[in-house]
Amino acid sequence: MDLQVVPLHKYPQYKEECCNLINDEWKRSTTARMRSLESSCDILPTNLILLKENRIIGHCKLSIVPSMKNACFVESVVIDKLLRGNGYGKHLMITAEEYCKNILKLEVIYLSTKGQELFYSKLGYSVCQPISIYGSSISNVNTYHCDKTEKTNVNKSFPCPPP
């Protein structure tokens, strides 16, 4: 499979396609969506896109958790409607986790989902308490937590830079 997961801000030519992909799942104004995508950067927030043969087929956004310097919050995980069920979502998430661990030097990924619990549990996520982002509590949804350090042996003697 010719698949690549890359930060959107390094491939700005995909911004419009990315906007359409996300808006096809969660309708929002193009202006607001494009503004959000334009905030992608090397430190958080970072929008990662999944490319297959130079076409965008997936997206996820890594956001800051203000109270936890070693964590990020993953949102807007989406795969092109016509291509679901082929392992692309799993590939996107696993590569995003590697990006969090190796590039951003993070140790924990949080996300919340309603309806995709099995997808995330198959990826090793387990239920945890809601966390606070942007100063407010995430509630009414299941919050999943995955500590990848146990599985991938992140070396903790290197201090993690603040995101």
Q: Cα–Cα distance between 138 and 140 in angstroms, integer? A: 7
Name which of 79 and 104 has its Cβ closer to ligand ACO.
79
Assess 85 for contact with ligand ACO (CB under 6 A).
Answer: yes
Q: Determine the interface stretch with ligand ACO among 42-50, 69-77, 95-103, 152-160 (rule: CB under 6 A).
A: 69-77
Q: Are 143 and 111 in contact (CB under 8 A)?
A: yes
Assess 87 for contact with ligand ACO (CB under 6 A).
Answer: yes
Least separation in angstroms between residue 121's CB and ligand ACO is 9
Near ligand ACO by CB under 6 A: residue from 36, 86, 142, 149: 86
Assess 84 for contact with ligand ACO (CB under 6 A).
Answer: yes
DSSP state of 72: E
Bond into 130 cis (ω within 30)? no
Least separation in angstroms between residue 57's CB and ligand ACO is 9
Q: How far is CA 151 from CA 81, 86, 110, 124, 157, in A?
A: 31, 24, 16, 10, 17
